[in-house]
Amino acid sequence: MSISDILTDQFKDSVEFSDQQNCLFIKDPSKWDKISLFIKNDKRMKFNYLMCISGYDLDDGVNLGLAYNFSSTELKTYLEVRIEFAYLTHIPSVTPLWRAADWHEREAYDLFGILFDNHPDMKRILLPDDWEGHPLRKDYITPEYYKGMPVPKDKSYWE
């Protein structure tokens, strides 16, 4: 049985496998913690290596997305999982299963504003702690000043 058959068998309507994009779509973000436990522990899949978590912004002003890339070091297989959701939805964190997710989820929160549940230490990682806004959103506007230093490229109004 291929990976897509195993998963659609187990979780029925919450997932959808797209052959054209070769990835798994999770339709219901609240089921993600059960699905991730299954992906890690099931003997036919054994995805023990989390490579990357990327957030992305679908340009419609409402939805954000998360893309997870897993690989299995024993069975040499590869899986990509995607979740798309509206802003301010809470996503269960996979940090208890793969510790690599710790810093990647902090970065997704920092740059996109995606909120995670059950994360051990959720705070900003790349930007200063008192920064306002989430820069990689498509509707982000660069602030004029940060603590007295001018930020934008055109310094003429300041000089």
Partner 1 sequence: MFKVIDKSIINADEMVLNMGPQHPSTHGVLRLRIITDGEIVSKVEPVIGYLHRCFEKHCENLSYEQIVPFTDRCDYLASMHMSHSYSMAVEKLMDVELPERVEYIRVVVAELQRIASHLIAVGAFGLDVGAITPFTWTLRDRERILDLFEMLCGARLLYNYVWPGGVSHDLPPNFIQKTHEFLDYFLPQIDEYNQVLTTNKIFIERSADVGVLPLDVGINYGVSGPSLRASGTSFDLRKDEPYSVYDKFDFNIPVGEGLMGTVGDCWDRYYVRVLEMKESAKIVRQALDSIPSGDVHEALPKKIRPKKGEVYSRYESARGDVGFYIKSDGKNIPQRLKMRSPAYCNLSVLNEISSGWMISDVITVLGSLDIVLGEIDR
Partner 2 sequence: MSDEYYVKNDLSLVERFDKDNVVVAKLDDLINWGRAGSPWFFQFGLACCAIEMMAAAGPRHDLERFGMMPRATPRQADVMIVAGTVTLKMAERVKRLFEQMADPKYVISMGSCSNSGGPYWQHGYHVLKGVDIVVPVDVYIPGCPPRPEALIQGILELQKKIKLDTPLRKKS
Whether residue 70 contacts residue 49, with contact meaning beta carbons closer than 8 Å, is answered with yes
Q: How many residues does the chain have?
A: 159
By CB under 8 A, is residue 80 in contact with partner 1? yes
Give the residue with the Cβ less far from partner 1, 7 or 101. 101
By CB under 8 A, is residue 18 in contact with partner 1? no
By CB under 8 A, is residue 149 in contact with partner 2? yes
Count CA atoms closer than 13 A to 80's CA, side-chain side. Answer: 12
Between β-strands 15-18 and 23-26, what pairing exists: parallel, antiparallel or unpaired? antiparallel
Q: Which candidate, 117, 19, 110, 23, places its Cα nearest to that of 69?
A: 23
Site residues (vs partner 1, CB under 8 A): 21, 23, 48-52, 54, 56-57, 59, 67, 69, 73, 76, 80, 98-100, 102-103, 111, 124-128, 135-136
Q: Which spans of this chain sit near partner 2 (rule: CB under 8 A)? A: 127-128, 135, 140, 142-143, 146-147, 149-151, 153, 155
